[in-house]
Structure 1
Amino acid sequence: MNTQLTPPPDHDLRPAARNRQRDELIAIVDHESAEAAPRRRLVPLAAAAAVVAVTAGLAIGVPALRGDKAQRPAAGTGIGAATPLIELLTTAEKNKYAKACNHGAEASPDPAARVYTVIDGFKWVNPPAGTHALAWVVIKTEAKSLVKACGFDATGKQTEFSWGIKGETKMDVVDKTGAGNGTYTKSVARITIAIGTGPATEAVLRNGFFFAPMKYVDTLTRTAPSDPPTYTVRGYDATGKLVYASPKTFRELNAKLDGCFTNPEGTKVVFVGGGRKGTPPVSQCPRGVAWSW
């Protein structure tokens, strides 16, 4: 499978689509994309409102991505013999994908949300059949130092999305937000992803985001508490030490999502999960980590 992509054309976004996309972003901020089954309402106490305010809508559908001659090849930056290969997009292609990634920001009341810098853009070389996102672009907006990574499938539909804000507190050093993507902190040098207990795929680590050519598997199907989560993720530091491992069962995953965490200094609770009322004392919550890219 050697997919070649043409950047999406310019087009207007209908009001109904904007409303749908806003709901999707709220779901992302609430970690609806986590593997928990059934769905659980997570309540971040900081950053969520700011992200929704500066991005009116992000997940978009665009016309089919048709063939175009592949540009400069580049090896993946993950560690391991099975690291997927990527091809960098041209400047023109990156600009087109970036505009699609930020489409809808013109509706934001914050003018800074409309100003962005293209950080990265690439597509997979010979990805496995069924890969959910074939091309990626990463942009940084002027609003809140928000960084967005958008993935597109072969039909031109935006299928994946990750985001980060410089200094934002994350629950763990690895935060998977999609089928094969998410964020990582600078202490992580390698990430692997597997579907269930299947063979692991090396992720490509770039600019605080990790990417792997993975299939999308329905993560909302009800399963037994003792079943393994849909995706198994592991993170390693530069010495090869395991520094992150995703929960082994849905029971463990749901218990974690129902928990809480503080800022990195341990002085303030910034996240409470499970729809609980009130804020627990900091002594009951582990410390989060800062995404400082």
Structure 2
Amino acid sequence: MSEFAFELELCAALEDGEHGDSVVARQLGGSVADPGGRILDIVCVEPGPEFAERVAITGETIPEAAIESDVGTGRARFWKDAFDCHPEHARRIVERACEIGFFERERRGGRDYVRQIARYPDWYGTIVGIENKPDLGTPGDLEAQLRTDASLGLVDEAILATESYVTRAHLNRIPDEIGVWRFFPETGDLEVIREPTRLPVSEPGIEPLAERPGRTDVAVVSAAEKARARRRLAERAYGKGWRTYAFPDCEAYESATDRGATLPYCSWKGRVVDPASECGSACDGFEAAETPDVDLEGEREGRTPWVADPGGARRQSGLDQFL
């Protein structure tokens, strides 16, 4: 099974199992000093004490700059005065925050003033990062990736998920803090080989940047930087989810529903495929057809606590119409 298919099957199983109340997402940035330097395959965000308040705001990712701005829930502020950044960037943030319903706007004397529709809540708890490696015989950069997770401590728990039989030699090659799961995609069964150790997310972390013979460049990441990165990670997970794939416009596509999740299954290949890299006219089995009508957003809303648009008609047009 490809890593892509393994990842989707595991996401479906997590959503259908004990993590059904959590926010499950995939392919999110898991580094701080080097944005994009570490991508987490799967992220599970457990609800915090004010999760319902977060659900009530918007189904989209709230921009970090909007959260950190001086826009509050009380008196509306002139939008330019609420940001410590270039006005063009501030304008884009305000537009987006108004569009998704996190800000509301009023017009005074030819100028726009904004306020938050609600206080940003304490909505997330434990964050779990999962690295997928179905075949441990081809580990790639697995050890370096898991060392980064352990030393940086951005997520509360880090786990390796595999379909392979796990030996003592495998366990000895990865940090002791990393949990290990054996996952069986055909049945959805999950065997815990080793429980993860809680990582020190409230303390400074060490992020490896580059390795060369006899030397590894690192960055010391402060606790405050990690806290902001954790909030960005949780927000991105909430807005994105894991159903970020398309479906091929091909006769060979069939709706495969595994544990309540609709996956892109190809009858010609006989397996779940990644339409972005495997489908199209270059495929020998390709036969053009109508793009399948699959409502992934509706599926997510029906199976998880996430709500697509709690504000309904509250969404507002962009700020640029006034400027």
When normalised by structure 2's length, the TM-score is 0.22
Instruction: Name the structure with the higher helix share.
Output: 2
User: When the two structures are superposed, what TM-score results if normalisation uses the length of structure 1?
Assistant: 0.23
Higher relative contact order (CA 8 A, sep 6+): 2
